[in-house]
Every structure is written in structure tokens, then in C-alpha cells.
Structure 1
Amino acid sequence: MHFDFLSQYSLFFFFLFIQLHLKIWGKIVQRTLNSFNILVGFLGWKFNRKRTNNNNMGMMKSPLGSQFGLLNV
């Protein structure tokens, strides 16, 4: 019983530790991905502006636009 309590306690701290790290790394990764998505979206928007495509995505393009800008061919 005592061992059970201890392992639950350490697990709790382990998860707290992981959550803290995930929050910190999540922010870093999110910022990196956001700037990357803006860049890719802008490149896709510039590239796709020159072509005419008949799909609905053509209506929704903007400079900060979709991260799938390059995938719309």
C-alpha cells in the first residue's frame, strides 16, 4: 500500500514535469510553425496567383493564407 502511494505520487510529479516541458516546447514549436506557415502560405499565394484554378480554394487565398497554398495545383 505504501509503495502504491509513492508510485502514484511520483507519477503525478512526472506528468507535471512533462506538462511543463510540453507547454514550453509547444510555444516554441507553435511560433516556429506559425512563421513557417505564413511564409509557405505567402509563397503559395504568390505562386498560385499566376495560375487559374477552378477549385473553391482559389476564392479563399490571402497573403497570410492557407498553409496548403503550395499544395493547390
Structure 2
Amino acid sequence: MTDPTVPPGGMAYPDDLALLKCVYDHVCQEQGIADGSSEAADLAARAMALFSQGVVDEALLREHLKRSGPNAG
């Protein structure tokens, strides 16, 4: 991802989707979330929501998702 801003209209470009997939895979593995589970769907939705709110840094996305995940606390 070259531009740290979210494009207008909430569009995600291929590099953005690759970043989100990488973060999703990492957090799923770390949290023991099975791909295809309701927890995984929730994680994906939260990742997209964070991204659309302007959280576009990989480390920040991971941190936010870990803190708000099912195993957080």
C-alpha cells in the first residue's frame, strides 16, 4: 500500500485487499480462529470497518483486531 489515506467512496485497491488478507490470516492464526467460522466472518468485518475508518497501518490493524477479538481481555 503506497498511500496512507483511504480512497474516496471506501474503495479498496488490490494492495489494500492483500494487506487486509495478511492481517486477517495473521490474527486468525494467532487467535486460533477457524477459517469460515462466525468468528472469522466477524474478524473480516471488523478489519474492513477499521480500514474504512482510516486505520490503514498493518500493525495498528492487528493491534485493534487483537484487542477487540473474541479472546481479548
Scaled by the length of structure 1, what TM-score is found?
0.30
Scaled by the length of structure 2, what TM-score is found?
0.30
Which structure: greater helix fraction? 1
